[in-house]
Structure 1
Amino acid sequence: MGNDEAGDEKNRVVFVTVGTTCFDALVRAVDSNIVKQALFAKGYTHLFIQMGRGSYLPTKSEEDASLAVDYFTFSSSIAAHLRSASLVISHAGSGSIFETLRLGKPLIVVVNEDLMDNHQSELAEELADRKHLYCASPQTLQQTIADMDLSSLSPYSPGDATPVAQHINNFLGFPDD
């Protein structure tokens, strides 16, 4: 595996996004020392967190920290952040998932277990089953990072959405068209 997964860029940025929601459990998880150590061990150099409406403030890194950490609340477009990322850790919003996959970026989707009727987790789990991304919870994020092999992920092509949409529609109880 090694450090060649994202080419030979000097900076290997992990971009974390919660979208427009509040998902403090995810921000807290990526801000934990065990997750930061797991990312550093995989060769990542920067952690950039979009924290949305959350109230938990991540710890900005000290000068001597192994992983540079910064955060912000909202941006008019996260596309530039996604493009510069070597790894994306996202909430389970379909917009964030598909935008990241379209850019061909490795993705870990973290499911918000506090949401009732969380149909987003169905989408994330289906795409994980198809090896397009990794799926985790805030509690399993560190282990997912430690175990991930980005070379085992399959590229996503937009034409693949039909069976995924069909699966979700069936799950939600919509009849086949």
Structure 2
Amino acid sequence: MDDQIVETKEQKLVFVTVGTTRFDALVKAIDSQELKKELSREGYTHLLIQMGRGSYMPTKSKGEDGSLSVDHFNFSSSIAENLRSAALVISHAGSGSIFETLRLGKPLIVVVNEDLMDNHQCELAEELAERKHLLFARPQTLHQTIMDMNLESLLPYPEADATPCAKLIHKFLGFPDD
């Protein structure tokens, strides 16, 4: 056994989440062979897609030929463990998903669902991208975003300090200053 070298490839998971809505455009973009090949070239080994209410079914793969292993599911009571184990998160632009991922310090690409009526999510994603906390894409630009991504350029999202807000509330309620 000493003569035999066992080579294991470290698992690098890309977790994709669309939340509870339908975002087939993102799932289709992720399922493209070109995008999966690019993720594999970037060193990712596994792709896990949370599809929500979508009807498009991505192609599953065990990755036995050295390609990306791909799996998917519709819903989960919690995606926290998926987020924690991910090396890269690709998410819809829901504020909950964005801030949960940023708090975990995970690299994040936010893809905006342009089919939504009120697209305030786009404004949030663009602002956080300008501040270099995440990368921003649309389904049709996701492949190029992944090709161009430099995750080292992303800045950690700062921890919030609720002290000033708490002091203001205490003052408003008439509590004495500490």
Common topology (TM > 0.5): yes
The equivalences for 1:121-136 within 5 A come to 121-136=122-137
Matched, 1:14 2:14: yes
Matched, 1:66 2:63: no
The alpha carbon displacement at 1:105 in A equals: 0.1
The equivalences for 1:17-96 within 5 A come to 17-62=17-62, 63-64=64-65, 66-96=67-97
Identity of aligned residues (%): 74
| TM-score, reference length from structure 1 | 0.83
Deviation digits for residues 113-169 of structure 1 (CA, Å, limit 9, x no counterpart): 111220001000000000000000000000000100000000002329xxxxxxxxx
Residue 116 of structure 2 is matched in structure 1 by 115
**Whole-angstrom distance in 2 between the partners of 1:64 and 1:39:** 15
**Whole-angstrom distance in 2 between the partners of 1:114 and 1:34:** 24
Q: Looking at CA atoms only, which structure, 1 or 2, has the larger radius of gyration?
A: 2
The alpha carbon displacement at 1:65 in A equals: 5.3
Q: Which amino acid aligns with 2:151?
A: L
Q: Which amino acid aligns with 1:117?
A: D
Residue 174 of structure 1 is matched in structure 2 by none
Segments of structure 2 that go 5 or more residues without pairing to the other structure are 1-8, 162-178
Segments of structure 1 that go 5 or more residues without pairing to the other structure are 1-8, 161-177
**Whole-angstrom distance in 2 between the partners of 1:125 and 1:85:** 23
Moved over 4 A (4+): none
